């Protein structure tokens, strides 16, 4: 049996790359997308390679970034633009195979097994794709290739930026022998620490470590871990029409200042419910599990969830559950840093209709549809349902203003 050839495409410093492309004056300088010098809070999403030389990286707190590199230039993210570039690139990949699976705006797996030989081999095809990305979008990408997704991802990490690495099955053991376990797909901080405590530091050591011990410590994941360390993995890349349904949808928000007033917090919670509900309706989905997350000043995080009887998609159904869950979880003495709302156990409204023949229809009424449309065009606080507003205190408007600020994480690539 012949093994497959899976490619992992990873756009180099993607957000920064698009900004450097569009603003040549920034080139050669330490640049970070996300965050802001003035707010002095939050995190950066991407650091340019110049900035990385100072130790900056994605996920880093703005405050730390400023310490390490005071001259760093912050650029506000333009996610709509990045999504556009990303979609153009992923569309191009579809010319080679229908098995293209985006994992995020800047990464995708695709299965080239059926075309790679008539395209002149693994390297020739990868180079051609890299070239086409530069020609059409003027940004660079790194491609990793392997017999499965996990190996392809490791391969992509080996030479960046603008790189290409093929980790053929024959080469895997050799490369993995001295590679840190943390470089394996799925080994994060916690797993890495646990493995270190076993004396396992390299993928090679993990590959020969007794599976029974791994299973005892990591459960189901233990056996998988052992396989991944031996270069085995998942070699199925799904076509767009084969992708599973989304399972949950939610929004959370960290406040620029911690909140202690319950009405303020509930105001934010209501806005989050509205946003989730609107997305559910747009995606024609409804869900049965509502959950609320509260994060306190010290980063202690609690969540409460409840399964409800019916599939719901409207904020007038979601918010009352969310409010009840909030009261169950909330400790009033503490300052609140974040709240979130999620709806899970999702099902398409078409399916819901089949199952719930004798209950009132789920479809958004004309009023709801009109409100969604208005918000789509004029923004978050253009209109709202009066039931959940807290404007009697005069607080709601200022809350709404804060929430309506551009949120760089709103857009998700359809996948």
Partner DNA sequence: TCTGGGGTCCTAGGACCC
User: Which residues are known catalytic residues?
Assistant: 107
Percentages of the chain per state (helix, strand, coil), in multiples of 5: 45, 20, 35
Nearer to DNA, 64 or 98 (CB): 64
**Burial (0-12, 13-18, 19+ Cβ within 10 Å), 160:** middle
Residue 140 interacts with DNA (CB under 7 A)? no
Within 10 angstroms of residue 400's Cβ, the number of other Cβ atoms is 21
CA distance 100 to 191: 29
CA distances from 254 to 7, 191, 265, 297, 300 (A): 36, 27, 11, 10, 13
> Which x/- pattern over 14-43 shows residues binding DNA (rule: CB under 7 A)?
---------------------------xxx
Residue 227 interacts with DNA (CB under 7 A)? no
> Which x/- pattern over 152-181 shows residues binding DNA (rule: CB under 7 A)?
-x----------------------------
User: Quick check: 183 and 167 in contact, CB under 8 A?
Assistant: no
Of the candidates 1, 80, 190, 350, which one interacts with DNA according to CB under 7 A? 190
> CB 12 → DNA: shortest distance, Å?
12
Residue 311 interacts with DNA (CB under 7 A)? no
Q: Which stretch binds DNA (CB under 7 A): 87-95, 200-208, 302-310, 349-357?
A: 302-310
In our burial notation (b when 16+ CB lie closer than 10 A, e otherwise), range 190-213 reads ebbeebeeeebbbbbbbbebeeee
> CB 2 → DNA: shortest distance, Å?
27
Q: Which stretch binds DNA (CB under 7 A): 81-89, 199-207, 241-249, 352-360?
A: 241-249
In our burial notation (b when 16+ CB lie closer than 10 A, e otherwise), range 22-32 reads eeeebeeebbb
Nearer to DNA, 256 or 391 (CB): 256
Residues 54-83 that bind DNA (CB under 7 A): 58-59, 61, 63-64
Nearer to DNA, 62 or 116 (CB): 62
Residue 409 interacts with DNA (CB under 7 A)? yes
User: Quick check: 132 and 92 in contact, CB under 8 A?
Assistant: yes
Nearer to DNA, 170 or 241 (CB): 241
Nearer to DNA, 118 or 257 (CB): 257
Of the candidates 165, 202, 291, 399, which one interacts with DNA according to CB under 7 A? 291
Residue whose tokens read 């003495």:
333
User: Quick check: 116 and 103 in contact, CB under 8 A?
Assistant: no
Of the candidates 26, 103, 402, 413, which one interacts with DNA according to CB under 7 A? 103
> CB 314 → DNA: shortest distance, Å?
17
Within 10 angstroms of residue 104's Cβ, the number of other Cβ atoms is 13
Of the candidates 24, 188, 199, 394, which one interacts with DNA according to CB under 7 A? 188
Of the candidates 144, 287, 340, 384, which one interacts with DNA according to CB under 7 A? 340
CA distance 390 to 384: 11
- Give the residue from 206, 201, 198 showing the smallest Cα distance to 223: 206
Of the candidates 120, 169, 219, 361, which one interacts with DNA according to CB under 7 A? 219
User: Quick check: 11 and 86 in contact, CB under 8 A?
Assistant: yes
Binding positions for DNA, rule: CB under 7 A:
41-43, 45, 58-59, 61, 63-64, 103-104, 106-107, 153, 185-192, 219-221, 244, 246-254, 279, 289, 291, 298-299, 301-307, 328, 338, 340, 342, 344, 407, 409-410, 412
């Amino acid at each position: 049996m012949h093994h497959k050839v899976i490619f992992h495409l990873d756009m180099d410093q993607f957000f920064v790359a698009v900004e450097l492309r569009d603003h040549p004056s920034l080139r050669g300088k330490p640049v970070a997308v996300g965050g802001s010098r003035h707010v002095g809070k939050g995190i950066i999403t991407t650091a340019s390679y110049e900035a990385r030389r100072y130790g900056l990286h994605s996920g880093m707190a703005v405050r730390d970034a400023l310490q390490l590199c005071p001259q760093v230039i912050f650029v506000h993210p333009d996610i709509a633009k990045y999504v556009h570039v990303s979609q153009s690139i992923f569309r191009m990949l579809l010319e080679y195979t229908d098995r293209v699976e985006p994992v995020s705006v800047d990464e995708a797996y695709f299965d080239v097994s059926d075309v790679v030989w008539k395209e002149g081999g693994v390297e020739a095809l990868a180079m051609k794709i890299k070239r086409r990305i530069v020609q059409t979008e003027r940004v660079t990408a790194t491609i990793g290739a392997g017999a499965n997704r996990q190996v392809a991802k490791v391969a992509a990490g080996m030479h960046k930026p603008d790189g290409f690495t093929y980790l053929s099955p024959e080469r895997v053991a050799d490369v993995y022998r001295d590679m840190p376990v943390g470089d394996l797909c799925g080994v994060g901080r916690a797993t890495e620490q646990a493995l270190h405590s076993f004396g396992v530091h390299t993928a090679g050591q993990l590959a020969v470590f007794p599976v029974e011990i791994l299973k005892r410590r990591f459960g189901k994941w233990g056996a998988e871990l052992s396989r991944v360390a031996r270069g085995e993995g998942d070699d199925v890349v799904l076509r767009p029409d084969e992708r599973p349904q989304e399972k949950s949808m939610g929004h959370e928000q960290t406040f620029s200042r911690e909140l202690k007033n319950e009405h303020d917090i509930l105001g934010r919670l209501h806005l989050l419910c509205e946003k989730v509900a609107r997305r559910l309706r747009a995606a024609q989905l409804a869900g049965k599990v509502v959950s609320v997350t509260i994060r306190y000043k010290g980063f202690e995080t609690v969540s409460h969830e409840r399964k409800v009887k019916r599939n719901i998609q409207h904020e007038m159904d979601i918010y009352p559950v969310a409010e009840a869950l909030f009261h169950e979880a909330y400790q009033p003495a503490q300052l609140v840093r974040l709240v979130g709302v999620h709806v899970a156990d999702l099902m398409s409204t078409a399916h819901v209709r089949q199952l719930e023949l004798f209950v009132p229809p789920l479809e958004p009424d004309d009023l709801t549809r009109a409100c969604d449309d208005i918000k789509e065009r004029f923004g978050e606080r253009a209109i709202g349902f009066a039931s959940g507003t807290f404007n009697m205190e005069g607080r709601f408007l200022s809350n709404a203003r804060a929430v309506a600020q551009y949120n760089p994480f709103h857009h998700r690539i359809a996948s």
